[in-house]
Structure 1
Amino acid sequence: MTPDRIDRIFLRLRERTDTQSAVIVCLCTGDTLPEGCSPMPREPSPATGILLAEDFVTVFEQALHLNAAVHDGAIIVSRSTATEDYRISGWSYRLHPNVAAAPAVANRGSAFNSCLAMSCVNGVDRVYLATKLQLFSYQRGNITQLN
C-alpha cells in the first residue's frame, strides 16, 4: 500500500460522526511494538488483525460503539515486514516516546507533540493525528498537514 493511499484512508477520518475527540494512529513495522508504546487494556476490546483499508472509519466507529474508551489513546497499525500489509494490532495505546529524539518545536498540545516525538522512534513508519478540523502526518520528525 502506497503512502498516498494510506493518507487517503486517514483523510476519511473527517467523515466520522464523533469529531469531538482526536484520533491518533501509529503505523509501525517490526515483530515487536516500538519503544514508547504501552497498552491501555479495554474491556470489551475491539477485534484486531483487521486489514488497513478504505473502510477504516467504519471499523473505528464500530470499535467506539463496542467500547467508547478506545478513543483514549493511539491505535497501533502494524506489519512484521515492509512487504506485508498493515493490520490493526491494538486499540488505545499510550505513547510516551523519548522526547530527546524529537525535533524542537513550539508546544502545540500533548497529542501533537507526542505524535511528532513518536515519529522519530525506530520501527515507527508514520503517525497520524486527526483533530476536529485537521489531519497531520508525522514521519521521522517531519510534519505534513493533509487536506
Structure 2
Amino acid sequence: MNKMAPDVNAELKLKLYNLQRQPLPFHPLIMVFSTGSISAEDCVPMAREPMPAVGTPFSNNLASVFEEAVGLNPSIHDGAVIFSRESKDDEYRLCAWSMRIVSDRVPDHAEPNVGSAHNSALALSLAPGVDLCVILSKGGSVLFEKGSISRSGRH
C-alpha cells in the first residue's frame, strides 16, 4: 500500500472522517473532489429522474443531504457524488450526483480483487484536476490521491 502525499487538505480529511462515522443512508459512498471540472473521458452522468439539487457545500451536515437525496430518488446511491471548486481558495460544492467513473488511466500499482469501485476511484485519482477520490463504508474509508491509497478503519 502506498502512503498518501502530505498535501491533502487536513480540514477536508477531518470532515471526511466525521462523515464516515455518521449513519449514512447507503454504502459504499463514492465521492470525488476536484478543482475545476472533470473530463467526460473520466466521468459521465447516469440519467436519474428526479435528480436531487446540487450546490451544497461540503460540510459536516452532508449525511442529511444524502438521506434527503435517497428519499427523493433511491437510485441516486449508484455512482459517484462529485464535489468541485473553481480554485484552491474556494470551498468544495456538490456539483453532480450518480456519476459513472469511466477513467481508463492506469495507476503504477493496482491491488487485485478489491472491486470495480476501488479500481475506478484509483484510476480517476490520476486525472487532471482531481484532488481526491474517497470511498466511505461502514468499516472505514479509502482515500485515493494521484494514484496513492490511504485507509482508515477496518476493511
What runs of 5+ residues in structure 1 fail to find an aligned partner?
Answer: none
The amino acid that maps onto 2:20 is L
The 5-angstrom pairing of residues 89-128 of structure 1 reads: 89-100=95-106, 102-107=107-112, 108-128=114-134
Which of residues 16, 19, 38 is equivalent to 2:44? 38
- In the TM superposition, residue 7 of structure 1 has moved relative to its aligned partner by 1.8
Whether the 8 Å CA contact 1:74–1:95 is kept in 2: the answer is yes
Question: C-alpha root-mean-square deviation of aligned residues, in Å?
Answer: 1.6
* Whole-Å separation in 1 of the counterparts to 2:140 and 2:73: 24
- In the TM superposition, residue 17 of structure 1 has moved relative to its aligned partner by 4.3
- The yes-or-no answer on 1:79 pairing with 2:85 is yes
The amino acid that maps onto 1:115 is A
Which of residues 33, 50, 57 is equivalent to 1:51? 57
Whether the 8 Å CA contact 1:13–1:57 is kept in 2: the answer is no
1:49 to 1:17, Cα distance in 2 relative to 1, 3 A: closer
Which of residues 64, 71, 79 is equivalent to 1:65? 71
What runs of 5+ residues in structure 2 fail to find an aligned partner?
Answer: 1-7
- In the TM superposition, residue 25 of structure 1 has moved relative to its aligned partner by 0.2
1:137 to 1:98, Cα distance in 2 relative to 1, 3 A: same
Greater per-residue helix proportion? 1
- In the TM superposition, residue 56 of structure 1 has moved relative to its aligned partner by 1.3
- 3-state SS of the aligned residue for 1:97? coil
Equivalent pairs counted in the alignment come to 143
Aligned residue in 1 for 2:16? 10
- 3-state SS of the aligned residue for 1:99? coil
The amino acid that maps onto 1:141 is G
* Whole-Å separation in 2 of the counterparts to 1:9 and 1:58: 14
Percent identity between matched residues is 32
- In the TM superposition, residue 145 of structure 1 has moved relative to its aligned partner by 0.7
Whether the 8 Å CA contact 1:25–1:74 is kept in 2: the answer is yes
Whether the 8 Å CA contact 1:9–1:56 is kept in 2: the answer is no
